[in-house]
Structure 1
Amino acid sequence: MIRSLGLAAALLFAFSPAAALEIERHMSVSASGKSRQVEVVKGEVLARFSSATSSGAVRAAARARGGDDGGALALPGWRLLKLPPGMRVADGLGQFKSLPGLEVIQPNHAYRPTRVPNDPFINSQYALSRMSAYAGWEYEVGNSSRVTVAVIDTGIDGTHPELSGKFGATVSQYCNPGPTDAPGDNINCVPQGPSAVCNHGTMVAGLAAAASDNATGIAGISWGAQVVSIKIFRDSDCVNCNPNSCFTDDQAIAHALLSLISKHNTPDYGKVVANLSLGGGGACSALVQSAVTSARTAGILVVAATGNDSSLVNSPANCDYVLPVGATDSEDKLAYFSSRGPEMALRGVSAPGVGVYTTDMGGGYTTADGTSFASPLAAGAAALVWAAKPVYTSTDVANALRNTADDLGASGPDNNFGHGRVNIHRALRYAVEGTLSGFKGESKAIAFPSPFRPASDRILSFSFPADTAGSGLTVEIYTMEGELVKKLDGLTWNGLNAAGNPAATGVYLFMVRSDSGKSRGKFAIIR
C-alpha cells in the first residue's frame, strides 16, 4: 500500500532505536500445581488494574517500589510495568503484587517462530494430495466470498510474485514487542507495508494462500484468500530467524489480535482467519487469553501451531477458543517434534508439517519442517470453508475441519493428532452439501478429476479409504489391458507414462497399495 514519505520516515525513526528483547528463564506454576520453566521478557511484567485505578496512581506506586509504569496496553485495565534495574521477573512479581487496584499480574512471555531445520531433498507439495486439496478445489477455490488470512508472524515479503497480488485493500501492521524508552517507540500497532524480518512469515503465507492456477511456482490452499501481514518481531532481533534472538511477547500478540477485530466482516477483509505460527512454553497467559476471547467474540477464527518441542502444547495454541494444529509427515505419521496434549483431543487437528514446499524470500521457494507450516495449511483450509459457507461462524468453520478430518492414531480424538489430519475434500463437501452421506471417497479409491484433461487440469489426484492408509504407499496405473503405465510414490500424477511420454486418451485402472491394504479405482483421460 502506498504511504507518504513522511509516514515512512516516522516509522523508520520509531523502530530503528529499539534494542533487542532480553529473555530470562522463569519457573511457571500451572493451575494444577505443575512447574515448568518458560522464557519471559527480562525487566518487565504485565498487570491488569481495576477501572477505578488511575494511571497516575499506578505510576506512583511502581516508582515507590523502584520500578515504573511502561504504559497502557490495548485491552482495558492492562499496563506494562518496568521492574527495578537488575531485578528478576520472579522477584518483580512479588515486588508489585501489592500495587493498589491490582487484579492480575503475570510475566510478559516470550515466543519464537516455531520452526525446525529444513529438509532440502523434498521438493513437491505432497501436502496437497494428503489433504485431498485437488478434489476439494472442485467445490471451492476461495473465490465465492472474501476471506483474509492474517499472518501474525515475522512479516511477509510483499514483493514475492506468489504473494504480491494477495494483499488487496488490506493494511499490513507492525505491532511492537517490548517497547523501549526511545522516542516514538510505542507499544501498539501501526500501519507498515508488508516486509519481512526473516523468511518465516513468507513461508507461512505461501502455504495458506499463495497465488494458484497461474502456471508458476506453488499452489496455496486457498487460491482466492487475501493475506495481511501483522508483523510482531523486530528487524534487529530476527536476522535469519535466529532462534537465540528472534522473540516476540504477550503484548504484541494481544495487540495483533485486537487490531483485526475492526477488520472482520468488512468489505475489504471479509471473514478473518488469524494464523499464529509461533509458540512459547507454559500456560496461556491471561493477557493473550483476553485478546483471543475478544477476537473470538468478534467472530475471528484463531489458528495456532502446537509447538516443536515434543512436549505439551505451547501457548497460544493452548488458549481457549484457539484451533491448535499439530504436524504429520508424508505417511500420515505424527512428526516427532509435534507438541501434544489434551487441547488436541478437545479441539485440535493435524496437517502436514514435514518437508512441506512453500514460498521463500526473494521470490524463491524452499522446504520446511515444523508445526509452523502445518498451521497455515489448516488456516487455508478454514478460509476455503468460510468462502464456501459465509454464513458459518468461526466455531462452525473449526467444527467442519474437526468433524471431517481423517482419523489417525487411536480411534477418535486423541492427544497426538487431535481430531485427525485435515481433509479438504471432505470439509468442503460437508460445508457445501451439508452431509458426507454417499461420499464415495469414504468407501472406495477415487481419482479426481475424472475425466482428467492434462492440458487444463495439469494434475490428477488419488483419494482412498482410511483403512488403506499406511506406510510404503504407492499408486500403480494400468491400461484396461493390464499393462503398467506408471508407478507413483505419491498421490498425484501429471499424465506422463514411465517413459516420460503423455498417456493416451482412454480409460485407465489404478491400484493404491500400502502396508495396511489396497484399493482399486478407474478414471478417464481426454487429450
Structure 2
Amino acid sequence: MNKVFTLAAAILLGAPLAAQSQFQDQPGFLELTGRMTVRPLQNTEISDQTRARLDGLVIKYFAEVDEYVISLPTGMTEDAVFEWLMETGDYEYVHPDWMVYPLNTPNDSNFNQQWHHQNMESELGWDTITDASAIIAAYTDTGVDTNHPDLVNNLIPGYNQVSGVWQNNGGDLEDINGHGTWVAGCIGAEGNNGIGVAGMAWDIQIMPIRVSESAGGGAFLSDLTDGARVAADNGASTVSASYSGVENASVGTTGTYTKGQGCLYFYAAGNSNANHSGFDYPDVVIVGATTISDTKASFSSFGLAIDCVAPGVGIESTALGGGYSDPSGTSFSTPLTNGVAAMIFAQNPGISAQAAEDILLSTCDDLGAAGEDNTFGNGRVNLRAAVEAGGPPAPMLLTMGTMIAGSSVNIRVDDATASATVLLAYTFQGLGSSFEPSTGETLGLNNHRVGLTLTADGFGIVDTNRVLPSGLAGRTIWVQMTETGNVSNIHNETIS
C-alpha cells in the first residue's frame, strides 16, 4: 500500500541533509529568510499530493507561474526542506526566498562625463529616434526620487510591491536608498532639456516598482520577481532588476512569463566576478559590465548565463536629492540595456518581445573571442545599431471567441503572410519556452502541441471555426499561432 510522505513524517523521521550546506548565508548579498520558493514540475499532471505537502506552510501563491513561497517547517533547515521536497521528484525547483540586495560599487568622482554614450553610439542612435513616449520601461528597485528634475516628466505611477498599493492609490514610491534613482536615470533621464544627464531614452514612461522597505535596500527575491510580473501585466515592454539573486531558478520562470506578456526581463549579472555557468535562462537577458576601454569590468560576473554587456564603471546618472553621481556596477549596465531595448520597441511598434531581444543581441558590438562567448555574451549593446536594424514583420494577431466545450469556437488570425501555412499550437501546461521545428520559431508555451495546420488567405487572414471536445470543460488552455518567421500573441482561457 502506497503511503503519502507527509510533512509530519518528514519532521519525525528527519529528512536527509546534504553533507555540505547547499544554501550559504551571505550577509548583505544573499541572506536566508526562513522562507522557500517552490514550483511543482510543469511537464506532468500535478498530483494533489504534490500540493498537499505544502499545506499549512504557504505564505504566498503566484498562480500565473504556479509558484509557492512557503515558511520553513519547525525544526527543518533550508537544506532539509530542499532534500525533502526534491527527492519526491515532484518539483521543478526549491530554493530560498533570499533577501537580496542592490548591486553597486559607489564612486564619488565629481566628473560629470557620460562616456558610455560614446561607446554605445547613443548620439547616432538618437539621430534615428528619440521619442519612446509610447513605451513603458519598468524596474524593480528601492523606489525613485519622484521630484528629481531630470526624471519627473518621464515618471508614470509606479507600484509598491511590499504594500501591494499603486502610487496613484497612495503607494509610497519615494527612494529609501538612492539605488533606484540611479537606475531610473540610466533608463530614461530626460534628454535635451538643458540640465543634468540623458538616459538611453529621452522621452519615455518609466514605471518604478519599489520592492524594499529597508534603508539598506534588502528585498525578498519573490518580491522582485512578482514585481516584474506586475509590470508586464500592466503594459511594460521592458523590466529590469539590479539586485543579487540571478542564479535562482524563479528568475528564469519570471522571464518566461513576462516574455509571454510581451515584456523583456533583464537581470544584473552581479559584482562578485563569479562564474555563472551553471544556468542559462532562455527568456532572461543577463547583463555584465564593461569599462571605458570595452574590457570586462573587474567585478563583473561572467559565464554561460551572460547574454550581453554594457558600460558599468563610473556611470553618470541621476541621484537622490536632485543631483547626479557616477556609481559603478552591473546595476547600471542592466538599466542601460533596458533603455536600449525600450528604444527598439519604440522604433518597431507592435514588435514581439522575442523579436526585440533578437535585434538587441544581434546588433551588439562583438568583444573578446569571435561570436558569443562566456565573458561578453553576444557583446556590448549598441543603441545606433539596434535602432537602425530592420525589424521583423509585425506579430500576428490572434483573437478567439468564447471557448465552450462541445461547441464551435471562432479562431481568427490577422497580419499573417499572405497564403502562408499557419499552425495553431496549444498547451494545458501554462507559459514556457518551446521550439516549433516546422516554423523555426520559439513559442511562449510550455511543452506545446500543434492542433491545427491552416492557410492564410491572400490578405494574411485566417478565419475558421472548430468544435471543442466536450471533455475539456474546466481546463485552462493556452493558444499561440506560428508561421515561418512569425508568432502571434498568446490567448489563454478556462474552457466553460
Report the counterpart of residue 8 of structure 2 in structure 1: none
Percent of paired sites with the same residue: 28
Q: Deviations over 1:109-135 (max 9, x none)?
A: 332211113141542111111111111
Superposition pairs of residues 353-392 of structure 1, within 5 angstroms = 353-392=312-351
> Alpha carbons of 1:208 and 1:71: their partners in 2 closer, same or farther (altered >3 Å)?
closer
Flag the 1:355–1:51 CA change in 2: closer, same or farther, 3 A.
Answer: same
Instruction: Decide which moves more: 124-133 or 389-398.
Output: 389-398
Distance 1:55 1:233 in 2: 32
Assess if the C-alpha contact under 8 Å between 2:371 and 2:378 holds in 1.
yes
Q: CA RMSD in A?
A: 3.2
State whether residues 149 and 226 of structure 1, in contact with CA within 8 Å, keep that contact through their aligned partners in structure 2.
Answer: yes
Q: 1:351 to 1:101 in 2, by over 3 A?
A: closer
Which amino acid in the other structure matches residue 339 of structure 1?
Answer: S
Which of 248, 251, 261 does residue 288 from structure 1 map onto?
A: 251
Q: 1:426 to 1:57 in 2, by over 3 A?
A: closer
Question: How far apart in 1 are the matches of 2:91 and 2:288?
Answer: 37
Q: Does 1:137 align with 2:137?
A: no
| 1:335 partner amino acid | A
Contact 2:344 2:356 in 1 (8 A): yes
1:1-16 superposed matches below 5 A: none
Q: In the alignment, which of 355, 358, 362 is matched to residue 403 of structure 1?
A: 362
1:36-435 matches, cutoff 5 A: 39-48=30-39, 53=48, 57=52, 62=56, 68-75=57-64, 77-85=66-74, 87-94=76-83, 104-143=93-132, 146-168=134-156, 171-176=157-162, 191=167, 192-234=171-213, 237=214, 239=215, 241=216, 246-264=217-235, 272-280=237-245, 283-285=247-249, 287-313=250-276, 318-344=280-306, 348-431=307-390
2: CA distance, partners of 1:225 / 1:132: 19
Aligned partners of 1:166 and 1:211 also within 8 Å? yes
Structure-2 change in CA distance of 1:86 and 1:360 (3 Å): farther
The code of the aligned residue for 1:279 comes to: S
TM-score relative to the length of structure 2? 0.66
Q: Given that residues 39 and 66 in structure 2 are in contact (C-alpha distance below 8 angstroms), is that contact kept between their aligned partners in structure 1?
A: yes
How far did 1:51 drift? 6.0
Mapped partners of 1:253, 1:100: distance in 2: 27
Alpha-carbon distance change, 228 to 314 in structure 1, aligned in 2, over 3 angstroms: farther
SS in 2 for 1:408: coil
- Post-superposition CA distance 1:291-313 (Å, at most 9, x none): 22111111111112111111124
CA distance in 2, matches of 1:118, 1:313: 26
Q: Is the 8 A contact 1:45 1:107 kept in 2?
A: yes
- Which residue type is aligned with residue 284 of structure 1? N
Q: Aligned AA for 1:291?
A: T
Structure 1 residues 338 and 76, CA, compared in 2 at 3 Å: closer, same or farther? closer
In structure 2, do the counterparts of structure 1 residues 100 and 406 end up closer, same or farther at CA, with 3 Å as the change threshold?
A: closer
Contact 1:127 1:356 in 2 (8 A): yes
Structure 1 residue identity aligned to 2:282: D
Deviations 1:447-506 (A, max 9, x none): xxxxxxxxxxxxxxxxxxxxxxxxxxxxxxxxxxxxxxxxxxxxxxxxxxxxxxxxxxxx
For normalisation by structure 1, the TM-score amounts to: 0.63
Deviation at 1:330, TM superposition (A): 1.2
Shift of 1:318: 4.8
Tell me: CA distance 1:27–1:341, structure 2 relative to 1, closer, same or farther (3 Å): farther
Measured after TM superposition, the shift of residue 57 of structure 1 is 4.7
Quote the Cα distance in structure 2 between the aligned partners of 1:131 and 1:334.
15
Structure 1, residues 353-409: CA drift from partner, whole Å, max 9, x if none? 101100000101001100111111111111111111113222222222222222221
Provide closer, same or farther for how the CA distance between residues 261 and 356 of structure 1 changes in structure 2, counting only shifts above 3 A: closer
> Displacement of 1:426 after TM fit?
1.6
Distance 1:333 1:433, change over 3 A: same
Contact 1:118 1:367 survives alignment (8 Å): yes
Q: 1:388 to 1:257 in 2, by over 3 A?
A: same
Deviations 1:289-340 (A, max 9, x none): 322211111111111211111112499x953311121111111111101110
CA spacing shift, 1:364–1:314, aligned 2, 3 Å: farther
Q: 2:349, 2:379 → 1: CA distance?
A: 24
Query: Are 1:122 and 1:355, in contact at CA under 8 Å, matched by a contact in 2?
Result: no
Give the Cα–Cα distance (whole angstroms) in 2 for the partners of residues 257 and 356 of structure 1.
24
Secondary structure, counterpart of 2:196 in structure 1: coil
Aligned partner of 2:105: which letter? V
Q: Distance in 2 between matches of 1:258 and 1:88?
A: 29
Q: Is the 8 A contact 1:401 1:427 kept in 2?
A: yes
- 1:20-35 equivalences under 5 Å are 27-28=21-22
Residues 83-123 of structure 1 deviation map (CA, whole Å, 9 limit, x = unaligned): 24564211233456689986753322332211113141542
Worse-superposed segment, 223-232 or 100-109: 100-109
Q: Distance in 1 between matches of 2:363 and 2:77?
A: 47
Distance 2:158 2:50 in 1: 31
**Rounded Cα–Cα distance in structure 2 between residues aligned with 1:327 and 1:115:** 11
Q: Structure 1 CA distance, aligned partners of 2:318 and 2:305?
A: 30
- Structure with larger Rg: 1
Whole-Å separation in 2 of the counterparts to 1:101 and 1:324? 28
